[in-house]
C-alpha cells in the first residue's frame, strides 16, 4: 500500500480526462482502507472504482482511493436461488460472464455495462428491462465516520431509477466493499425489451438461454456504443426522463414520433436519445448526434453518449452537455438529468 502525490487520473477514468489527484492510493481489503482513511482523515475523499461513471472537470484536491477489493464467493443456495458475493473491485462484465458460465440467471441483460461491481447498487444500473435491484440481496459498506462495517438490505438501499441511498442521503459517507446477488437456478428470460428478440432471430438462436441473451445484448451494445479503450466515454451520459402522463400526451400530439414507455405511478419514461436526436447545436435541424467541437463530441451512433476524441478537458465535455440540456429544454420543455457523476 503506497500513497502517491499529484497523480494523473487519466488511466483511472473511462473518459480519459487528465485530471490530477493531490493524493492517491489503492486498497485491497478493509484493513488497508481503515489505514488509508486514518491517514487522510482531514482531506476530502473520493472512492474510485472502474471510473466508468465519472467526469473530472478539475484536479481533485483531496484523497482518491482506488477500490481493488476482488473475489467471488458462492455463499449458499435454496430451491430457487444461489447467493453469490463479489468484491466491489471486480470488473462488472467479467462477473456477469462468471455467473452465466454457471447458468445463474438474472444478470444476462446487464452484460457489457462498464465499471465495477461496487458501483452497480450505487447507480442501480439497468439495461434491456432489468435493473440491479431485481437481483440484489445485500451489500457490505464501511462507514467513514463511525469506522464500522454495516450490512444494507434491499430496502435499506432505497433503489430508484439509476438511484440509491448512496447517491443522496448517504453520499460520500460509505465505501461499498462487497455485494451479494440473488440469482436464479432456473432462469427467467427477459427478451421483450429493445432489440433483443430481433437480434436473437438474426443470430439464428433456436434454443433460448441466458448465454444467448447475453451474446445478443453484447452485440447490440457493441453496435451502438463506443469501446472506452478506443474512444473515451462513460456510456450513457443522460438519464431517460420520467414525466407525468398528461405531459407525455401533450408531447405526443406535437411530436408523434416521440418514444415513451409506461412506468410505475401512471407516468411515462421518454427516450432521452430520441429527444437529443431531434435537437442540435443550431436551429437548422442538425442533430447533436455526430457533433464534434474540438475533441469533445456526441457519438455518431448514439446521442446519449458524449465522447472524448483524445485530449478534451472535463470542462469541455461538461460544457457540451450543458448545451444539449438547454436545447432539449427549449424544444420539448423536458429537463434531462446527467447520469454521470461530475467532479
Residues annotated as catalytic are 162, 236, 339
What do you get for the CA distance between the two ends of the chain, in Å? Answer: 25
Q: Of 89, 163, 190, whose CA–CA distance to 339 is shortest?
A: 163
Q: Where are the beta strands (DSSP E) in 241-304?
A: 242-244, 260-263, 267-270, 292-293, 296-298
Alpha-carbon distances, residue 22 vs 45, 66, 126 (angstroms): 10, 14, 33
Helix (H, G, I), strand (E, B) or coil at 56: coil
**Whether the Cβ atoms of residue 309 and residue 319 lie closer than 8 Å to each other:** no
Element of type H or E holding 315 = helix 314-332
Tell me phi and psi for residue 12, to 5 degrees. Answer: -110, 10
Q: Are 243 and 268 a contacting pair, CB within 8 Å?
A: yes
Distance of alpha carbon 233 from alpha carbon 309, whole angstroms = 9
CB count in 10 Å sphere of residue 207: 5
DSSP 254-318: H-TT--EEEETTTEEEE-HHHHHHT--SSSSS--STT-EETTEEE-TT-TTEEEE-SS--HHHHH
How many other C-beta atoms lie within 10 A of the C-beta of residue 325? 18
Q: Which residue has the cell 485530471?
A: 19
Count Cβ atoms below 10 Å from residue 198 Cβ, excluding itself: 12
Amino acid at each position: 500500500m503506497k500513497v502517491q502525490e499529484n497523480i494523473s487520473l487519466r488511466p483511472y477514468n473511462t473518459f480519459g480526462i487528465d485530471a490530477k489527484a493531490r493524493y492517491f492510493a489503492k486498497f485491497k481489503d478493509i484493513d488497508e482502507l481503515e489505514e488509508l482513511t486514518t491517514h487522510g482523515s482531514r482531506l476530502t475523499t473520493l472512492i474510485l472504482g472502474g471510473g466508468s461513471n465519472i467526469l473530472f472537470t478539475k484536479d481533485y484536491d483531496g484523497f482518491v482511493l482506488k477500490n481493488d477489493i476482488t473475489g467471488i464467493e458462492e455463499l449458499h443456495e435454496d430451491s430457487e436461488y444461489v447467493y453469490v458475493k463479489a468484491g466491489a473491485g471486480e470488473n462488472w462484465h467479467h462477473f456477469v460472464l462468471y455467473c452465466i458460465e454457471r447458468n445463474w440467471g438474472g444478470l444476462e441483460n446487464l452484460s457489457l455495462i462498464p465499471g465495477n461491481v461496487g458501483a452497480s447498487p450505487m447507480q442501480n444500473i439497468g439495461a434491456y428491462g432489468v435493473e440491479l435491484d431485481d437481483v440484489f440481496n445485500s451489500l457490505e459498506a464501511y462507514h467513514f465516520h463511525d469506522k464500522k462495517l454495516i450490512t444494507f438490505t434491499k430496502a435499506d438501499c432505497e433503489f430508484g431509477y439509476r438511484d440509491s441511498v448512496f447517491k443522496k442521503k448517504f453520499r460520500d459517507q460509505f465505501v461499498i466493499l462487497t455485494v451479494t446477488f440473488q440469482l436464479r437456478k432456473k432462469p427467467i428470460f427477459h427478451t421483450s425489451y429493445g432489440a433483443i428478440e430481433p437480434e436473437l432471430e438474426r443470430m439464428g438462436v433456436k434454443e433460448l438461454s441466458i448465454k444467448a441473451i447475453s451474446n445478443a445484448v453484447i452485440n447490440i451494445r457493441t453496435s451502438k456504443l463506443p469501446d472506452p479503450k478506443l474512444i473515451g466515454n462513460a456510456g450513457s451520459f443522460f438519464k431517460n426522463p420520467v414525466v407525468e402522463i398528461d405531459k407525455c400526451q401533450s408531447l405526443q400530439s406535437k411530436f408523434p414520433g416521440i418514444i415513451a414507455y409506461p412506468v410505475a405511478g401512471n407516468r411515462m419514461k421518454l427516450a432521452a436519445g430520441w429527444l437529443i436526436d431531434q435537437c442540435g447545436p443550431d436551429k437548422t435541424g442538425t442533430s447533436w448526434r455526430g457533433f464534434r467541437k474540438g475533441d469533445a463530441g456526441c457519438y455518431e451512433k448514439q446521442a446519449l453518449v458524449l465522447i472524448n476524441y483524445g485530449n478534451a478537458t472535463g470542462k469541455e465535455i461538461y460544457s457540451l452537455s450543458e448545451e444539449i440540456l438547454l436545447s432539449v429544454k427549449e424544444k420539448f420543455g423536458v429537463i434531462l438529468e446527467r447520469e454521470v457523476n461530475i467532479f
